Amino acid sequence: MPAETFVSRLNEQIANEFAAHQQYVACAVYYDAETLPQLARFFYRQALEERDHAMMMVQYLIDADADVTIPGVAAPQTSFQDIVEPITLALEQEKRVSQQINGLAATAREASDFTSEQFTQWFIKEQVEEVATMSDLLRVVERSKHDPMEIENYMAREHSGGEGEDPTAPHPAGAE
């Protein structure tokens, strides 16, 4: 069994990941309504990744025979003053999640729960990528905020496909 302190923090993190999902859906819908389909597509895809993160954590708890609580989530921000703001918000969110994941790893280590500590490792690596992606994107969008088509071209060029399979990723509950 994983340490009780870890189980309770992981359940909190499941709520954080679902909240991140809702926030990215809200960002995607904002861009979709602004007719910026490439930015919308990026955030729809990003939202699905957050859902997967939550479901990976759910699967871990199920496998470990620990309690899982599927949470309600806080309402996302749905209106933005300009096309830069959703990305500023996303970068802050990713930085916050990085701290939360590090906190999870620390909780597992303090409890000498090395299995759970190992489970957090993939998420630590994932957060490094997500923070880097969002800070690159913020730079691009700030530079070209008066020329949204330039941003759309960048997104089509740099973020067109999915990320492809990551064989080291934990299994999300319910996934094929």
Contacts with Fe ion, residue ranges (CB under 5 A): 17, 50, 53, 130
Distances (CA, A) of 123 to 27, 79, 169: 23, 29, 9
Q: How far is the CB of 101 from Fe ion (least distance, A)?
A: 8
Nearer to Fe ion, 53 or 159 (CB): 53
Q: Which is nearer to Fe ion, 50 or 117 (CB)?
A: 50
Q: How far is the CB of 18 from Fe ion (least distance, A)?
A: 10
Give the span between the Cα atoms of 96 and 169, in whole angstroms. Answer: 21
Output 5 or 98, the one with its CB closest to Fe ion: 98
Residue closest to Fe ion, measured at CB? 53
Rounded to the nearest whole angstrom, what is the least distance from the CB of residue 17 to Fe ion in the complex? 5
Q: How far apart are CA 131 and CA 23, in angstroms?
A: 16
What is 47-93 written as a DSSP string? HHHHHHHHHHHHHHHHHTT--------PPPP---SSTTHHHHHHHHH
Per this entry, what is the length of the chain? Answer: 176
Give me the least distance between CB of 50 and Fe ion, in Å please: 5
CB of residue 16 to Fe ion, shortest distance in Å: 8
- Write b or e for each residue in 100-115: b if 16 or more Cβ atoms lie within 10 A of its Cβ, otherwise e: bbeebbebbeebebee
Nearer to Fe ion, 17 or 113 (CB): 17
Closest to 21 measured CA to CA, from 113, 90, 110, 103: 90
Q: What tokens appear for 93 in the block? A: 């969110």
95 vs 109, which CB is nearer to Fe ion?
Answer: 95
